Structure 1
Amino acid sequence: MHRKIIHIDMDAFYASVEQRDNPEYRGKPIVVGGGPEGRGGVVATASYEARKFGIRSAMPSKRALQLCPHVIFVKPRFAAYKEVSQHVREIFRRYTDLIEPLSLDEAYLDVTKDKRNIGSAIGIAQEIRAAIKEELQLTASAGVSINKFVAKIASDMNKPDGLTFIDPAQVETFMEQLPVEKFFGVGKVTAEKMNRMQIFNGADLKKFTEDELYRYFGKSGRFFYRIVRGIDDREVQPHRETKSVGAEDTFAFDLEQLDDMHAELDKIARTVHDRLERHQLRGRTVTLKVKYSDFRQITRNHSFTYSVAELDIIAATAKELLLKTDLEGAKIRLLGITVSNFGDGPVKPDSGQLSLF
């Protein structure tokens, strides 16, 4: 029996919430994210009106302004987006408990057995989209198929407000026609390498043996070999294990003074600490991420023999790691802190001065 997998993806989520809540934004090109002031921020989400001008997520806001001089920049309201996301998940739970959120605006659902005994994954997807529209005045697109990979690709095919079903008998043909750039794990560099090998779509990939793909692309090659044949056994995981908790910030102007860097690290450490507290997690590894004005990026980490979540330890560790980088004449555009290596372990000793290194 084939599994019944749905991938739901909210349409231009942040921008759509802003347009719903602010009538003056409706029908206009808006960007949710950092504004173009100073060195400029980054586009988190663009409305469909803005996308017509070529504006895309992760694009510098200055570039967005060049493409559309009358675009409206809106600061994110993450509390509002989270509230909407929780309502959407409540709708999901009416049909199944096998829900794997990927972010605030998308999730996988396994409806092989659904709570309402509807039996049709297409019917469930239609009901979910209708409920989102009626209760939240927002639209979502859905992909329906027999595995996660195909369902996710399908959800993007008829956006916005679309539903695409890939029949089990059509999956392998669908994969053969799929451009390699659409394959999970194929970024720009891998796609260019594939193109040099005359691999442009799934049908081209199928000409290679599993061993050949492994030799050319490592472990990903084995995944490519299976997925192009429609084989994806990954289960929908309702309780995905958190591997790390972190936060980072890109600054409007380069940081050149150590005091400014420390002040920013204190803010970032506070965010990481709050997230650890919320998830009741403690980790043994603290990692510092530094991106310079020339976009060169480095990371430094320190592992403890005990688990930590304390704000002072996270902040102090990040500052010590920063001092171990080359700060002479440095201009820093981004700093980030991540805590990882979770699991059971002793906590910080109660006595004695903390020695980080």
Structure 2
Amino acid sequence: MLLAPAAASQRLQSLDILRGLALIGVLIENMQHFVSPTYAAYLTWPAAGELDQIVVWCIRFACENKVYLLFAFFFGYSGALQMLKAEATEASFTRLYAWRMLTLFLIGIVNTAIWRGDILLTYALLGFTLLLLRHLSRKSLLGIVAISMAIPSIWMNTSGADPEMISEFIYPIRQTAFAFAMFALGLVGGRANWFADAPALLRRTRPWLPALLLLALAANIVFAIYFDRQNTDPASWVSLATEVCAALGTPSLAALYVLGTLWVLERPAGRRCLRSLGDLGRMTLSHYLLQSIIGMGVIHTLANHLPGPITPPMGVVLSVVILAGQIALSVWWLRRHRFGPVEWFWRSATYGRRLPLRIAD
């Protein structure tokens, strides 16, 4: 029996809204690399002011690592739901899922040609590991999460304190290790279907919120303050402490984002305010690629021809304008179509047949 694509009515709106919120953070974080000079380079200029430094600090505190961590978690969570559906229907899963990851890898190759900061290749390759992890126990998966989150700090402590090596490799090692950890945690969450009963999840986690908030604030403040030391003095104990804070603060703040959003969605006014983000989240892949095209094709080109730099506050304003356009486009598109254009291509390629795109089909 073949596994069929999920209908729109089977989707969790809260998960789509969370994806939409994560996509907002992705653009705000990536904008610092789309512009030229980058925010980090601009802060070394005499023209950089206190407002510029505050904006960059806030981005590092609120977005750096966290938004991609959320996407990796949602990726693992969705994979677990697909596995559960396959088991319930006795459908073939392994071959279909492997083909799905290969198709995503090909999409990632296209995006890498546009934007060197692409995450799709990493996610596609790590996606194959879910096939190896899916039969592990919850305890084993949580052990993998803990070890993977610690890998960057362990590597920094055992790399022979080579500053050049640390500076060059710490970011890809962190990104890959953290993503793998969140794939495994998403598998745990998907098996338990955490988001199917948000009130119960909020009740279970309420006793942990004070400690989680304290950890998130303390660790991310340190990370944001000393972030640049990993470039200027990567072999120092301060850089190692900063990496430890990243391992502790990144998942704790990301968890607070999720729980805070679920709390808002429990209220009718909150659901009304965030409803359009669900449309944005349903088209995450399309909009991620669109952000790459706009960022490198328009903003990066524009930044190289302006008489002055695009400052961090200007970059945030640009991000808000682009995101407003993407939200409006999502609402308009999904009134007429079942999926985003790239989502439709990915699904059609996965299932080996042209799926209906327009709602009238």
TM-score bracket, normalised by the shorter chain, equals under 0.3
Tell me which structure has the larger Cα radius of gyration.
1
- The TM-score with structure 1 as length reference comes to 0.25
- The TM-score with structure 2 as length reference comes to 0.25
Asked which structure has the greater RCO (Cα within 8 Å, sep 6+), the reply is 2
Please state which structure has a larger fraction of its residues in strand: 1
Please state which structure has a larger fraction of its residues in helix: 2
